[in-house]
Each structure stands twice: as structure tokens, then as C-alpha cells.
Structure 1
Amino acid sequence: MILFALCLAFAGALTTAGPARAAAQTLTNGTQFTDTSGNGVHAHGGGVIKVGGYYYWFGEDRNADNTFKYVDAYRSTDLKNWEFRSHVLTQAGASELASANIERPKVMYNASTGKFVMWMHKENGTDYSEARAAVAVSDTVDGTYTWQGSFQPLGQYMSRDITVFVDTDGTGYMVSAARENYDLQIYRLTADYTGIDSLVADPWHGGHREAPALFKRGGVYFMLTSGATGWNPNQQQYATATSLAGPWTAMTNVGDSTAYGSQTAYVLPVQGTSGTSYLYLGDRWGNSFGGSVNDSRYVWLPLTFPTSTSLSMSWYPEVTVDTVAGTISGTSATYETLTARHSAKCADVPSQSLLTGVALTQYTCNGGNNQKFWFKSVAGGYYELMGRGSSLCLTENVTAVTQENCTAATSQQWSLTTSGGYVSLKSRASGECLDVSGASTANSAALITYTCNGGTNQQWTRGT
């Protein structure tokens, strides 16, 4: 009898066991996230769905030529520590996937059928002439998704960048860019979410918008979108309505002129004990800075709401998310320039590059983000210098000072000594000082580290 009771207690524990309570986590923006195995997270153009205590993130994992390779699934309790689950859709899933482009996969759960339904944009892998929506389904959130086919909505409309949305009454919707991205159309889905029931609205006819993200806050629907400029970032805009059928407001600018170097992928509600916050998920496409889709980085920012029908978005180099409380906060930073005393030129990342390994130089001060750095205080009285444009850290190498992924290495930690209104920066790794090579006064002269000697080419002015 005692053994039976113990068995029941153990079985009950298995039934009710779930993920451990998540602690607040801080994310660094403008970086390529890594999973719990240390591999890059390839969930580009993706979306997130919460199932039980886990958030599941789906997105694009592409070949080097940017064609479709996989849709990947990851899960996390805290939105920072992502466990790779599986390649939930592969080229082997259907003959038409063997040579294709699959973009912006989004997953929704249908409570009536118990199925998880993935919608995505499908092209032929050569050009963008197909403009089709596609559907796949699975019995489990991170299991293999079975291909259902691709089509143009209602047999007549082009369909490119998409998102999906489940309303509070359980009705499913799909939004896609149509007519060469000049229209953004809202469709009601069939009861099983695998087909199009009807066209609900075409509110911004001729608006030339893409990358839609639809969410609801209170009784207000928000549509956040990007302009159509290919891989390059642009001004994000949003509109609101109290009914998906409209009327919708005109589009209004939000954020800066490039969405802080990103493009909308999704808006994630984070619900917890203190309420619900909204997190902007954006892609900083690798193709915009000389790479490929799999080189892309992520920009995740809190959305705030000055009124019930307006939103705002500001840049933070770091964002802290507490999924238990449902709160999101940003770390404010002051960005500063470094001007060499001898030349009056600024420390500069050439060509505003976002690539790792790029060697810094001095250049005429111009106020660009490639000349601005966040002096982030770290342990022991040292500082990391994180670039405003690249989110990469100033790093000492043998022959140059470069920008690299921030790793907390001693080669990225600098001590500051102020004298006579100027500052010298000494590398923790070598004890050498940040120096303009040869005391050159020319544009594009290399920044290096060199034995500290008090020269004016090792003296810098910090400015905002």
C-alpha cells in the first residue's frame, strides 16, 4: 500500500512537472544569438508561440546562397537561453521544397483540431515570381511539420511577407504583402487554420509596405510594418484599428529612420504576474552588410504605449526580460566619441562596417554611429567599448585594434586614466595603450596598441 502511494505520488510529479522558473535575463542587441550548445540561432524572419511554460521560436535557416535549408525550432523559458529542438521543416518535406525560398514562417495553435499550423511565404528559389503562401501542420509544437502545399490566396492574390494572428475569440488570420508589396491584405482563415476563408481588408492599398506584425492590446489592433527596400533597413510604421475589418488609421512612423538597423519580424506579448509587455523582434539582415541570411543578427526592443492607440520604440544596447513578471526594460547608454589629441580625428569603424574583424582607424569626425562607443563598465574598474553601429567590442590584436563579438575577454577590457583633460586607454591583456600608428594625422591611419609613452597620439578626448 505504501509502495502504491509512492508510485502515485511519483506519477503525479511527472504529470505536473514543468520547466524551472525563469529568472530575468539580459539580451545584447544587434548580435547573433547562440543556443545552449553555443551554435548560432537561425530563426530569421521568424515568430514565437508560447506552449505551456516554454516559448517556441521558429525561423529561417538557409543555405549559403540564401535558398531554403530548414525551418528551425528552438525553445526557452526566459527568451535568452534557447535550446535547439529540431529542423521541423526540411527540403525532404516535399518535392517543391528541394529548390525553394521559404520565408517568415509563423506557427499558430488550433484549439479545435489540436494541430499546430505553420504559414510561410514560398518562392521557387530562383526569383520572386511565385509569390505564394504555404502551409504545413504538426501534432506537436516542435515535431515534423507535414507539407500541405502552396497557393496564392483565393486563387488570385500574390502573397509575400506574412504573419499570422489568433484573435481572442479563436478566429485565425493571415496578413500578407500583395501586388508586388504595394498592398497589405488581411485574410480570415478557415476553421482549421489551413486555408483562406475570405479577404477581410486591404486598408493601405498602394502603401508599399511589407514585414507585417499584427498584435492586439486591450481592444486595439496594432499593425507594425516595414517599407519595401529589400534587405536594407528603413522607417517602420504602424497603424491601429478597433476591428480588423477597419477602419484603420494611416501609417505613423515609429523608432528611428532605420528601425535601429532592423526589420520587423514579430511582436511578442510577454505575459506574467505583473501584466503584459510587448517585445519587438527584428532582423538585422546579413545581406545588408555583406553577408548572407545566416549572418543576420537580432534586434529585440520593448514597445511602449503613450496612449491606448499609439506606440513608441527606442534603442537600448541591452534589454532585460522577466518572463515570470511579464516585464521588459532597456539599459540606457551614453555613446561617446574618441578624438585623438594630435590629429583631432575620431576613432572610426571604416565604411560603417558591421562585420567582425574590421580594423579601426582614425577619420574626420562626422557624428556617425561608426564613431560612437558605449563605455560599458565591467568588473575591476575596466570598460568594454561597444560600437553604436555594430554592437561589437573594441578588441586588441597583435597588429591592429578590431571590432569583434563581445566576449568579456581581457583583450576587450580597457582601463582609463585621465590627465590634463585627456584620457589614455590601456588594454587589460597587454598593458599597452590605444595609439594612432606612427602618430599619423592622415585619415584612415590605423589604430593599434603600443607601449604607453604619454604621446599625444595616445591621448583622447571623450565627447558626446
Structure 2
Amino acid sequence: MSLNPRARRFTILTAAVALGLTGGLTQPVQAAEPSSYIANDTVWRTVDGQEILAQGGNVFKHQGVYYWVGSELTSGQPKAINLYSSTDLENWQFRKAIVKQSGTDGPLSADPADNIWLGRPQLNYNPATNNFVLNFEVNDTSDKRNQLMFATSSTVDGTYTLTSQTPINVNNNTMGDHSVFVEGNDAYLVYVGDHVDASGKKSINRTVTVRKLNEAWTGVAPGAPLFDQWDSGKEAPGLVKANGKYYLFASEKRWWDATATHYRVSDTLAGLASSAPWAKVTHRPTRGGSDDSFGTQFAQIIPVVSTDGGTTSYLFNGDRYSQFFKGDTNNAPGGVGRNAWYKLTFEGTAPVVHGWTGVDVNAAAGTITGNRVANGRFDQEAAGVGVPLWDLSGAQGAASTQNTTGDGRRQLLVNDDVAFTSWVDQEVVLPNGRYELSFDYRSSATMNDLFFEVKGHGGQATKLPLNKNQNAWATKKYTFDVTSGKANIGLWADGQANAWTNLDNVAIWPAG
């Protein structure tokens, strides 16, 4: 899913002052950016170049292979449930559509008809039955709320057979979003439930509920729910076990829009009912930090377990329903891409999502590194709306995102119709070590002064002068050492009336 965001005309390589103990000069590192990584705020594609269409689903691992299932959501209703596979979580291959809205022409034994909801697919392997079990939401025919259908197959990309031609209501009622949590031979349905009062009036998305599935994972087991809380403000619930504790996550109820993520934590599943109240997941960077999960809605926490089982890292799987953004009162994210995955860590028991622009997963080692700059492509919001996760200041001048001519991507634009100065910066948390900074820029001839500064990293601040009258995109690279656990990076622009400069693809990767 790593894409070169823009064809570059030429690269400017800058020798870097080695800040810290060495005190000398080093040569620029040529290969800090990995050849393959998760490129957030881009359109993700398979290894053969096809756009990945998988939203509202889940990723699971079976026999060393990761499988990803999700809905193919177009401008209206979803048209298929697609299956992808990968061995490294970065390079994905399309396997097939395991459900299609095509009458009887799809691979399912009795496919749903056109023009109904076909959402939130969940696929997992049941070791007790040796079957792959799929469940997904369809519409109730009376009021278009969600019911569940279950299907099974002996192979992951085989023909899935419905366990019943009739969708089921969980607890005799319809539902909103749902997911499935697996622990050993047991599976649990995690969902937002609807409620009907004594007068027969239905209220939607009223509870967050966890119920155990039957042994075949094809229906709800009898008995009381493990967790059932009245809460009218949640959607997209999901469970994960991490560091010996159970975490229940959920988004806020904002439909297609991006939202903050909330969580509860307990030592046991049953203990979630008496655990501390919902709390917001922390987002980093905190300076100008995201309060909407970096332009996404929570879908899942993906464990990345090393081959030897000794190391586990976690990915925050976020959906971005940007295809529904219309630039008006319709609430949907305006950023680029339908999916974004971020590193998730824990500070004590509190989960923290790190809004890195690039995420590099070593699936065999169970580790995650990345480009820790947030919104480094300036593609996390619609053009002209703002510049999330960057601080803006200056006597005059307006800094905003701007569409790139010809390719639909975005960049930072700094300009004004009067003389201006502008400072655009971000503080980046960086473990001590050596890093390579890179970025693309271009500028008009009427810039008075233009430089990119690196400071606050434990050594002397460095100003990198940038060319004026740089009409073609150029790339600048710079290596530096961090001894303070962070660095402040920023663009200074001093221009005459109508002068302009663009900045894009800002990255800081570990350099050896």
C-alpha cells in the first residue's frame, strides 16, 4: 500500500549536522524510507494496482496469512463483500467477492438482492468446526434496520453457504453496528442494539451489548449477555484482549463522519459491566492533536504477533467514509482514502493512537515503526478546510490545504494577496536516535525568505534554506540525531504580495 505520492523532478540532498555526541558532519542517508509501508491518507491499492474496497470489516490471521474482509461501499448501497490476503499487512492481494448483490449470480448460495444494506462483515476461523464463519448485516424489510445473516465455508475463499435464508434479530430486536471477538474456541457478538418501548416505539442504537455465540459461531448462544449497557451515543463497537486485559472500544454516533474513540477496560469479560466508565482514547500528537481518530471511525484493533509469539504490537484500524463527502451539510470526512491504520500503544492501561503518516509493519518480528509526522501529506482534510495537526502562525498570510492540479491530491499552500510572513510547524515525538527528514516543496520568485527548520531535538537548531523561484517540485533530505525525545519541524515563509509556496510529503523515518 506504499505509493509514491508524486513524480519528482529532482532531489536536493543536504549534508546534515550530526546533533548530539558526534558533533560532526554526516552524509545523507539514502534509504531511510522503506520500500513498502502502510501509506495513510492515500488511496490503497492491491499488488496489481486495483483499489482496495473493504470498509466496516475485520482483519484476522490464519496459518501465517492475514485475511481482510470488508464491504465494497459505492455512492449508494454496498455491492459486495470483498476478501483480501497478505503475509505482511502491507501488500494485499484480492482473492474474491465472497458475497455479491447480484441475485443468484454471486458466490453465496443465496445472495442478498440489490438495493439493501450489506454491511459490517466479520470473518473468522472456528477451530472447533474447521470452518470459516462469515456474518454480515442486511436490512430488516419493515424499517431498514439491521439483521444478521451467517454463512460458512470449509476454505477461506470457497463458496459460503447460508445457515438460514432468513435473517435473524439478536435478542428479538434489530441492531446497529456489530463486530465479533474471538478467544480460543469461543466467539462473542459485540453490537449496538435497538430498543422498543412498551408502546411499540423503536429507538435505534440504544445499547452496547456483548453476547456469546453458539459453538458453531452461527447464532447467539442462550443466556444473559456478558455486557449490556444503555448508551445512546456509541457506534462501531469492538473487543480486543491486550496485555492480559479486555478492552471494549466504540466510536461516537456520528454516522459516516469521523469520531473520537472511547474505551472500557477490565481483567475479565464479565468485569466490563462494572469497570470504570467510558474514557476517550488518547491521540498523539497532542499538540494540535486529533479528536476524531485522525479523520476515521474506529473499526478494529489488529494484533500483530511475531512468528515466535514473543512480541505483539497493535494497529488501530480506522474507516474513512470519504466517498460520502459532498462538501456541504453532509457529514463525512473530506480526507483522502477509505482506510487508515495507526500504531496503538498502551500507557499503563490507557490506549494511545499515534497518527503517523506512514506505518511500517514487520509482521514476522511483531514490531511497528514509521514516519511519525502526522498529516505529512496534508491529505487528512478537504482542500481549503484547514491543516489538521499542524500549528499555524504569522503576521499575515494564510496557510491551507490545496488540491494538486491533475491528480486530486493535496499539499500545503502558503500565500496572500498582501505581503506576509507565515510559520507552519509540528512537534514530533521521536525516540532518541538518528533520523532522515524529507519533504517536497516549490515556490514563486517573489518569496523574500524561505527555509525549513529543525530544532528542539537536543542539539543546535538548523535552518535549511529553500530555493526561491522553484516552480517544479523538488525534494530535500536531511539527517539528524535526536537526544531529547522529540523534534520541532516547520516551514518559514516570507513573501511579497501574491507570493506562494507549497509543501508536501513531510516525513521523518529512522535512519539506520
Q: 1:362 aligns with which of 415, 437, 447?
A: 415
Task: Report the Cα offset of residue 373 of structure 1.
Answer: 8.2
* 1:176 has 2:191 as partner: yes
Name the structure 2 match of 1:461: none
- For 1:227-306, list aligned pairs within 5 A: 227-246=252-271, 247-254=274-281, 255=283, 256-272=290-306, 273=308, 274-287=310-323, 289-290=325-326, 296-306=337-347
Equivalent pair of 2:316/2:344 in contact (CA under 8 Å): yes
Q: 1:35 aligns with which of 46, 56, 60?
A: 46
- For 1:97-112, list aligned pairs within 5 A: 97-112=113-128
Name the structure 1 match of 2:401: 349
Equivalent pair of 2:44/2:337 in contact (CA under 8 Å): no
Q: 2:74 aligns with which of 63, 68, 73?
A: 63
Compared with structure 1, are the counterparts of its residues 427 and 276 closer, same or farther at alpha carbon in structure 2 (3 Å cutoff)?
A: same
Which protein, 1 or 2, shows the higher relative CO under an 8 Å CA cutoff with sep ≥ 6?
Answer: 2
Compared with structure 1, are the counterparts of its residues 289 and 383 closer, same or farther at alpha carbon in structure 2 (3 Å cutoff)?
A: farther
CA distance in 1, matches of 2:237, 2:468: 45
Question: CA offsets per residue over residues 271-311 of structure 1, 9 Å max, x none?
Answer: 1044111111101211463399997422211111122x322
Query: How many residue pairs are counted as aligned between the two chains?
Result: 377
Compared with structure 1, are the counterparts of its residues 427 and 69 closer, same or farther at alpha carbon in structure 2 (3 Å cutoff)?
A: farther
Task: Report the Cα offset of residue 98 of structure 1.
Answer: 2.3
Q: 1:313 aligns with which of 340, 349, 353?
A: 353
Equivalent pair of 2:416/2:500 in contact (CA under 8 Å): no
Equivalent pair of 1:241/1:248 in contact (CA under 8 Å): yes
Identity %: 27
* 1:133 has 2:167 as partner: no
Task: Report the Cα offset of residue 428 of structure 1.
Answer: 7.6
* 1:83 has 2:93 as partner: yes
Q: 1:153 aligns with which of 170, 179, 199?
A: 170
Name the structure 1 match of 2:138: 122
Q: 1:197 aligns with which of 221, 240, 245?
A: 221
Q: Name structure 1 gaps, 5 residues minimum.
A: 1-22, 365-370, 376-380, 386-393, 397-414, 450-464
Task: Report the Cα offset of residue 245 of structure 1.
Answer: 2.5
Name the structure 2 match of 1:188: 212
Name the structure 2 match of 1:142: 157
Equivalent pair of 1:417/1:425 in contact (CA under 8 Å): no
Compared with structure 1, are the counterparts of its residues 39 and 228 closer, same or farther at alpha carbon in structure 2 (3 Å cutoff)?
A: same
Compared with structure 1, are the counterparts of its residues 429 and 161 closer, same or farther at alpha carbon in structure 2 (3 Å cutoff)?
A: same
Q: Name structure 2 gaps, 5 residues minimum.
A: 1-33, 103-107, 195-203, 284-289, 377-389, 418-423, 429-435, 444-449, 454-462, 475-490, 503-512
RMSD: 4.0
More helix per residue: 1
Task: Report the Cα offset of residue 363 of structure 1.
Answer: 6.0
Name the structure 2 match of 1:14: none
CA distance in 1, matches of 2:473, 2:353: 40
The residue identity in structure 2 corresponding to 1:384 is: F
Compared with structure 1, are the counterparts of its residues 278 and 417 closer, same or farther at alpha carbon in structure 2 (3 Å cutoff)?
A: closer
Q: What is the SS of the residue equivalent to 2:66?
A: strand
Question: CA offsets per residue over residues 47-96 of structure 1, 9 Å max, x none?
Answer: 1111212101101113332x121111111111111011111111234353
The residue identity in structure 1 corresponding to 2:315 is: L
Name the structure 1 match of 2:480: none
CA distance in 1, matches of 2:392, 2:400: 9
CA distance in 2, matches of 1:430, 1:279: 33
CA distance in 2, matches of 1:139, 1:425: 63
Task: Report the Cα offset of residue 177 of structure 1.
Answer: 0.7
CA distance in 2, matches of 1:263, 1:382: 30
The residue identity in structure 2 corresponding to 1:208 is: G
Equivalent pair of 1:34/1:41 in contact (CA under 8 Å): yes
Compared with structure 1, are the counterparts of its residues 210 and 430 closer, same or farther at alpha carbon in structure 2 (3 Å cutoff)?
A: closer
CA distance in 2, matches of 1:222, 1:175: 12
Equivalent pair of 2:150/2:218 in contact (CA under 8 Å): yes
The residue identity in structure 2 corresponding to 1:204 is: Q
Q: What is the SS of the residue equivalent to 1:181?
A: strand
Task: Report the Cα offset of residue 383 of structure 1.
Answer: 4.6
Equivalent pair of 1:56/1:75 in contact (CA under 8 Å): yes
CA distance in 1, matches of 2:392, 2:276: 44
CA distance in 2, matches of 1:338, 1:422: 20
